[in-house]
Amino acid sequence: MINPLILSTLTVLLLPAVTHGSTVEYIDNGRGLVPVYLPSDYDGTQPLPLIVALHGYTQTGPEIEAYYNLSNQVDEKQFLLCVPQGNRDFTDEPFWNATDACCDIFNTNVDDSGYLRQIVELVQAQYAVDDLSIHFTGLSNGGFMSYRMACDHADLIASIVPLAGVTFLDTSDCTPSEQVHVLHLHGTADSTIEYDGGCFFFQCYPGAEESVLNWVDYNQCDVISEDGGPAFNLDWSVGGNETTSTIYRQNCTEGVTVELWTMNGSEHVPNFRRNSDPLNQNLFATRAVDWMLNHRKPGPVPCPSDINGDQTVDINDILGMLAAWNTSDSSADIDGDGTVDVVDMLILLDDFGQDCE
């Protein structure tokens, strides 16, 4: 949830998004047009991961995209990005009906969980989606909603990355049918959704660490934490390497991971972009996208060297690559650099004989 008192701060952080060649198309599931960002060379031959980004309370879809700027990476990292928008409440503010604490303030009981699942299914029907690599991320109310989606639709979702949003206070309200990777980000100085938990509008919510431990339990992991490595910088408002990582992955079912990135000294809306950076790079977006794409559902490993789709990397794939040599044919451009060349051939030869089933 974004407190209207800090909207001026958020506005400062909404720098113009920088895109690099992605294409925008639209789908409609009965509540208006929803943008879907596609790689500029998308041709539907290769299933791609899908990331769904959710706005906070009082925010809009375009505003969360301007803040996250995930579309900046669609071409380079080859994924689909969907940015839907919630309904407007009695005060005309956009919201998601997420958890027992947030943010259906006027008790509309709108089924946002069902709506967002239908959005994903509509994207799956219209585009080539890697069904084992579907991810949700969101800020504040969008973070709460990401947790709701993992609780309700664990069969669909590989991972969630909530920022400054937490899970259900009543753990019985969350009964995931499968394991889901979780990466939770939260500032210790967050005065809107407090790091240690709190209450607003007569509803209480758990803290960041409690949310993570609840999902350690859901994923049947041992409650044994690991240091995620050296601290790193995400929030330019704080300065220095303010973010630390704590990981739970020992004996988790299906090898899932639960991780907490604690941003020491960060407020509710961290500043992920340095204003003096001419490329307008977003530190969170770069790390978070990499994390999501590396945390798939258990299942067959993608086999990009299987160019002809026969589930085996063999001489026919070499012939297919030679036929596409020096072109931008995405089915043969294994490393995704826009050209079928010797690097792609070396990757294929390294995978030669691989059974992709």
| In the predicted structure, residue 12 carries a pLDDT above the cut 60 | no
Phi, psi of 54, deg, nearest 5: -115, 135
User: Could you tell me which of 286, 283, 292, 260 has the C-alpha nearest to residue 166?
Assistant: 260
For residue range 55-67, what is the model confidence (pLDDT) as tens digits?
Answer: 999 999 999 999 9
- Terminal Cα-to-Cα distance of the chain (whole angstroms): 43
In terms of phi and psi (left: phi > 0; alpha: psi -120 to 50; beta: otherwise), the region of 288 is alpha
Q: Which pLDDT band holds residue 278 (cuts at 50, 70, 90)?
A: low
| Complete DSSP assignment for 176-245 | -SS--EEEEEEETT-SSS-TT-EEETTEEE--HHHHHHHHHHHTT--S--EE-SS-B---TTT-SS-EEE
For residue range 45-57, what is the model confidence (pLDDT) as tens digits?
Answer: 889 999 999 999 9
> Is the pTM higher than 0.85?
no
What local confidence, expressed as pLDDT, does residue 357 receive?
62
| In the predicted structure, residue 9 carries a pLDDT above the cut 50 | no
What local confidence, expressed as pLDDT, does residue 14 receive?
43
Please give the residue that has the higher pLDDT: either 10 or 270. Answer: 270
Ordered structural domains, the chain, with CATH: 4-293 (3.40.50.1820), 303-357 (1.10.1330.10)
For residue range 322-350, what is the model confidence (pLDDT) as tens digits?
Answer: 999 998 887 788 887 778 999 989 998 98
Q: Which pLDDT band holds residue 21 (cuts at 50, 70, 90)?
A: low
Q: Which pLDDT band holds residue 105 (cuts at 50, 70, 90)?
A: confident
Q: Which pLDDT band holds residue 246 (cuts at 50, 70, 90)?
A: very high
Can you tell me the distance from the alpha carbon of 280 to that of 69, in angstroms, rounded to the nearest whole number?
9
CA distances from 356 to 131, 193, 226, 264 (A): 16, 45, 33, 43
What local confidence, expressed as pLDDT, does residue 4 receive?
37
For residue range 172-227, what is the model confidence (pLDDT) as tens digits?
Answer: 999 999 999 999 999 999 999 999 999 987 789 999 999 999 999 999 999 999 99
Q: Which pLDDT band holds residue 7 (cuts at 50, 70, 90)?
A: very low
| In the predicted structure, residue 6 carries a pLDDT above the cut 60 | no
Q: What percent of the chain has pLDDT over 90?
A: 69
Q: Which pLDDT band holds residue 353 (cuts at 50, 70, 90)?
A: confident
Q: What is the mean pLDDT of the chain?
A: 89
